[in-house]
Amino acid sequence: MAIATIVRSTTTINDGFGAYNDTATGVLVEHGSDGTHAVVTATSVAVATITGVTTLTASGNLDIGSYDFRAATLTADGLTSGRVAFATTNGRLTDDADFVFATDTLTVTKIASFILMGKLTAGVVEIEGSNFDINGGTVDGITSLTAAGNLDIGSYELKAQTFESDVTTGTAPLTIASTTVVPNLNVDQVDGFDFSQGVSIGNVPAFLVAPASNQLNFATASDVTVVWGTEIYDIGGNFASNAFTAPVTGKYLLQACVHFQNIDTAGGLYQVQIATSNRVYRFKMTPTQFAADVADWSASACVVADMDTSDIAEIRVAQQGGTAQADISTDSWFSGVLVG
């Protein structure tokens, strides 16, 4: 045992040890001849090297300041076996039931944000820092997923309630290799054709109507709307009150055949008009060429008209002068269909 300086202390000296009092300094100094046992109770040990200690029991906290404390093993009575120790306030060691280690397995209940520099492997699932690769398993509870490259899920399905593309105009947002028909596909446009109200190929707006009865003695010197009381078909339900209402913007083929009866040769000029919200298409005839009033005469009209959403199209007739004696027969008809 090296010499120690003990200030204001009591000493217990066992066999083989001796002590003497330095009369110059008044300090008690102990020494041992065999170094086997010594118990020193001291208020302050200024400098000491103690070897061969088999048991050290403290009755208070030990503070070794900025020095190292080394041992082959360290047993902390306040820690629980199997848990991983970590430092808390002022460097105090503690543990938690959510952070345990057994054999070769580290179990942590929650892991906060971190940077993965190597690779994590769990069965067939591999996650690597620079090459994130999940080869199996289920990932749940994702609230946001941002990709830095293309995603390829191979021959598997990708399902979602909605799909949204933020690519700018000029780049196709969706590329499909298959030519198989997609059932129940509702779109606003197909090849540039506008179907914004849910109209689909095979269900294009179309109608055909006819009068329910003869329209007698229509007025002269004014435009008279033809009354269509019978709908033969009305795909899309866009015909009502003697007019067709365009459900979408596009080009519509409109055709009409008005069968006149009792035409007055003194009427001067007769017109059949396809009147739309954008413009009026007029088809004219002059009955003055006939020697007498005409019992039956059919006049046809046809146009591919440009119509905007909610525009209307109707058929009108006009007689310039003469007597209001002409009728519109039930042999008349009016039809239309969206063509582009």
User: What tokens appear for 237 in the block?
Assistant: 């339900």
- Nearest C-alpha neighbor of 246 from the set 199, 212, 201: 199
d(CA 129, CA 119): 6
Look at 164 and 327; give whichever has higher pLDDT: 327
- pLDDT per residue over 126-136, tens digit each? 666 555 566 66
Q: Is the pTM of this model over 0.75?
A: no
Domain spans in the chain, listed from the N-terminal domain onward: 1-70, 76-109, 206-338
> 279 vs 47, 120, 245, 301, CA distance in Å?
113, 71, 14, 15
What would the pLDDT profile of 292-328 be if each residue is shown by its tens digit?
A: 999 999 999 999 999 999 999 999 999 999 999 999 9
Burial class (CB in 10 A: 0-12, 13-18, 19+), 262: middle
Mean pLDDT of 83-106: 89
Closest CA to 254 of 232, 236, 280, 229: 280
**CATH fold of 206-338:** Jelly Rolls (2.60.120)
Given a cut of 60, is residue 11 above it in pLDDT?
no
For residues 303-317, b (16+ Cβ closer than 10 Å) or e, as one string?
bebebeeebbbbbbb
Cα separation, 258 vs 274, whole angstroms: 11
For the ranges 98-107, 166-175, 198-207, the maximum mean pLDDT occurs at 98-107
